[in-house]
Amino acid sequence: MRRTVIFLMLLLPSRLCAQQETPAATLAPANPLPAATKTPQRHRPTIGVALEGGGAMGLAHIGVLKWFEEHHIPVDYVAGTSMGGLVGGFYATGMTPEEMQKLIEGLDWREILGDRTPYEDLSYRRKEDQHAYPNSLIFGLRHGLSAPAGLIAGHQIGLLIGRVTLPYYGISSFDDMPVPFRCVATDLVSGQSHVFKDGPLAIALRSTMSIPGVFSPVREGKAVYVDGGLLDNLPTDVVRKMGAEIVIGVHLESAPVEANDIRSVFSVLNHSVSAVVTENEMRSLELADSIISVPLGEFTTVDYAKSEPIMQRGYEAAKTKARMLEAFALNDADWEAYLQARKAREHTELPIPQFVKVEGTSQRGAVDVARYLKGFPGKPIEPQRLDAALTRLTGVGRLDSASYWLTEQDGKAGLLVRVVEKNDAPPMFQMAFEVDGSQAGNVDFTMGTRFTFMDVAGYRSEWRTDLLLGNTYGVQTELYRPFSPESRWFFAPRADASDTTFQIYAKNDPLADYRIYRINIGGDLGYSFGRFSELRVGYEVGSLNTKLRLGTPEIPAVEGRVGQSHLHYLLDHTDDPVIPRRGFSAESNFRWFDQSPGAASSFPSLDLKLGYFQPMTRIVSFFAESEGGSTLGTTSTGIPQFFLGGPLRLSAYGNNEFQGNQYYLFRAGFVHDLLTLPPFVGKKVYAVGAYEIGKMYGVTADSNLPNDVAAGLLAETAVGPLFIGGSVGDSGHRKWFFQLGRVF
């Protein structure tokens, strides 16, 4: 989700630019491939390839390596930085360029770089947060109001790296890989470049590509690693020190900078960093025996969707050097011997893990993670299943990322799971804005904030408080407390107070404007069925006061005590909190009012909502939703319990035009993807159309079955969903409207 402004938050300490790379004495020459790879009749020089960093443009290295393989050019050593390090590392594991190309083309780069835990994998309470605050405005409060160390935590890219590198858990040196390998990162603590030559391969690859301000840095011991391109973006020096006699540097040639391109603070920062990186690239190019320059002027560092032409551009660039490169080509017999020797160094078998070891969190947290993963020891590793489990761990809200590799302890193989806790949270702070422009000449605005504190009353407990300003002024607070850290049972005391504007319209004509004042205190006993559903039973007592400010009385003005018992169940098996494309949902709420202002006696109230969402094609989906409510025959309830009218509740009708004690509503429609928004702006824009039909019993209306057709555009923006549309109904009802905030 981070594109042309990926260096926005990059403020380089001047000392970094002046530091030199790790002294040569610390780099012993790597062991080249066995002699069997060499031509029997004559000695051939060993060849090392240095791959430059460049984001999406670095995918061109796959094309270069593909040309090498097709023309029998051996690679005895490979080193890279950033994306060059990632491609070089994958190649060093034995992956062929064709396999890498297939892997890259099958990736959803927007999902990987967006790095948000999929909605389905969020815990139930984090789904509640997304429903109430459907945007990206989430901040940490651990060190005051702060942002994370990187816009991308790196969880998804870490899982990708883990899947590829998993078999190489036991190597003592990167020299023992099918192709000896090095990659470069920058240590922000020492201010020097660091060359990875051993240790967990996954950490090395994740470190080399940690663009400052974009990807969260990798903390290893006392070091803090970020992208190696700051100091050595084209590591020809590293390849030479590995022992290569011929060093080939692959340079990614970007578009020249024009004065007119530098207009904003973002472009100034971006090009300032580029100038620093370019300067170290020039020094590295001088150390190469041959340079393959890949012309990529029309591409950018974030053009991952253009992987195929970028890889092809690398292939063509290598082809332009054919005359020079073919001097190093092996004959068929020697090439086959080279491949066999490389194959013999591959690691393909995975041991069955006998235990799970967790790093990066507290003892209590480690026990919790290990318990969650208790089904993995003693069984063959299934990377996709393990990836899914670790992703669901991040959905609780405590962790930025979780990665894994294999380890050994007391002669037994096990899973080492490294989690990275959020550096800035909890506590967490969320914001949301709701703008209701569904009535001509009257726009309502409400701003909401949510504060979430964790472990305030024991592990897994949460204290959640909402503050509302605008059309509604209010405060809501709840303490969620499981019976024990492992228990699904919980209790949740809560309290709220609010002052809300409540308006009633007929078509577009205002009829009444009320203020509704509420104060409540109560508590629930509940059971969590997992991340999809929850059941609560509880009691709430408080006061209700309604006052007519303008217009004619449409509902009674009441004041007095409210007491209610309730049984609430919610199931959310959808894929998105804003505009679901697949899945289903259900919600039921039964309440028994033992007292309510204006009611002649106690009475029941039951409402039920059902939703079904089904993709029809890649870009079109269908939805159907129904809901209904009833006081089960009781008519004297004081104020009506249900209201219809307004956006997607009979959209052509006035807000709250129908009031009563029994109703039903049905709507069905489609969602069509139109375009993808730029990162930082939002996700997508959709066309939405729906047919609605409903009925409020016990009221006089122009139509026995009010119905309408609504259509409009829905944009998932960074500040919330924005809907602009209109509706045409029966009996002359029609209107245009817009909304910022919850739609479905």
26 within a domain of the structure (yes/no): no
Q: Do 496 and 637 share a domain, yes or no?
A: yes
Q: Do 311 and 267 share a domain, yes or no?
A: yes
139 within a domain of the structure (yes/no): no
350 within a domain of the structure (yes/no): no
Q: How many domains does the chain have?
A: 3
Residue with tokens 């059941």: 535
Token pair, residue 9, equals 């938050």
Half-sphere exposure (CA, 13 Å, Cβ side) for 455?
A: 11
Residue 627 CB partners (closer than 8 Å, separation 6+)? 607, 608, 609, 610, 664, 665
Q: Do 335 and 399 share a domain, yes or no?
A: no
Question: What pLDDT sits at residue 424?
Answer: 85
Residue with tokens 């170290």: 280
CA distances from 604 to 305, 487, 543, 593, 607 (A): 56, 32, 18, 6, 10
Q: Name the pTM for this structure.
A: 0.85
Token pair, residue 672, equals 């069509």
What is the C-alpha separation between 191 and 197, in angstroms, rounded?
19
Token pair, residue 502, equals 């409540």
Q: Do 333 and 411 share a domain, yes or no?
A: no
172 within a domain of the structure (yes/no): yes
Residue with tokens 């006392």: 222
Q: Which residues of the chain have pLDDT under 70?
A: 1-42, 147, 255-279, 744
Token pair, residue 99, equals 């396999």
Q: Do 498 and 606 share a domain, yes or no?
A: yes
35 within a domain of the structure (yes/no): no
Q: Which of 135, 117, 120 is nearest to 572 (CA)?
A: 120
Q: Do 485 and 601 share a domain, yes or no?
A: yes
19 within a domain of the structure (yes/no): no
Q: Do 406 and 525 share a domain, yes or no?
A: no
Q: Judge contact between 43 and 71, C-beta under 8 A.
A: no
What is the C-alpha separation between 223 and 579, in angstroms, rounded?
42
What is the C-alpha separation between 158 and 463, in angstroms, rounded?
31
Q: Judge contact between 694 and 729, C-beta under 8 A.
A: no
Give the end of a domain, one of 372, 387, 421.
Answer: 421
Give the end of a domain, one of 421, 449, 476.
Answer: 421
CA 286, 287, 292, 298 torsion-angle sign: negative
532 within a domain of the structure (yes/no): yes
User: 365-405, pLDDT tens digit by residue?
Assistant: 999 999 999 999 999 999 999 999 999 999 999 999 999 99
Q: Do 463 and 329 share a domain, yes or no?
A: no
Q: Do 659 and 723 share a domain, yes or no?
A: yes
The SS3 call for residue 230 is helix
**Domain CATH code at residue 408:** 3.10.20.310
Q: Which of 602, 650, 606, 666 is nearest to 631 (CA)?
A: 606
Domain that holds residue 174: 47-115+153-181+235-344
Give the end of a domain, one of 377, 406, 421.
Answer: 421
Bridge partners of 224, per DSSP, are 219
Q: Do 366 and 453 share a domain, yes or no?
A: no
Question: What pLDDT sits at residue 30?
Answer: 58
Q: Do 320 and 403 share a domain, yes or no?
A: no
Q: Judge contact between 598 and 629, C-beta under 8 A.
A: no
Residue with tokens 């590799």: 405
Token pair, residue 248, equals 């080939």
Q: Judge contact between 174 and 78, C-beta under 8 A.
A: no
User: Where on the phi/psi map is residue 355: left (φ > 0), alpha (ψ -120 to 50), or beta?
Assistant: beta
**Domain CATH code at residue 436:** 2.40.160.50
What is the C-alpha separation between 424 and 400, in angstroms, rounded?
10
Q: Do 450 and 590 share a domain, yes or no?
A: yes
What is the C-alpha separation between 717 and 740, in angstroms, rounded?
9
Bridge partners of 690, per DSSP, are 669, 710
What is the C-alpha separation between 660 and 640, in angstroms, rounded?
5
User: Where on the phi/psi map is residue 632: left (φ > 0), alpha (ψ -120 to 50), or beta?
Assistant: left
- Which residue type is seen at 532? F
- Which residue type is seen at 707? N
Residue 85 CB partners (closer than 8 Å, separation 6+)? 51, 53, 79, 183, 184, 204, 205, 208, 209, 228
Q: Rounded to 5 degrees, what are φ and ψ at 612?
A: -135, 135
Q: Judge contact between 318 and 64, C-beta under 8 A.
A: yes
Q: Which of 44, 147, 1, 164 is nearest to 96 (CA)?
A: 164
Could you tell me the end-to-end alpha-carbon distance of the chain, in angstroms, rounded to an integer?
A: 25
21 within a domain of the structure (yes/no): no
Q: Which of 41, 34, 38, 86 is nearest to 60 (CA)?
A: 86
What is the C-alpha separation between 660 and 552, in angstroms, rounded?
17
Question: What pLDDT sits at residue 23?
Answer: 35
Question: What pLDDT sits at residue 742?
Answer: 77
Long-range contacts of 160-163 (CB under 8 A, 24+ apart): 160/107, 160/112, 161/86, 161/89, 161/202, 161/205, 161/206, 161/403, 162/202, 162/383, 162/387, 162/403, 162/404, 162/405, 163/383, 163/387
Q: Judge contact between 389 and 369, C-beta under 8 A.
A: no
Q: Judge contact between 573 and 582, C-beta under 8 A.
A: no
* Alpha helices (H) along 248-382: 265-286, 307-320, 322-325, 332-344, 363-372
What is the C-alpha separation between 671 and 689, in angstroms, rounded?
7
Q: Judge contact between 563 and 595, C-beta under 8 A.
A: yes
- Which residue type is seen at 255? A
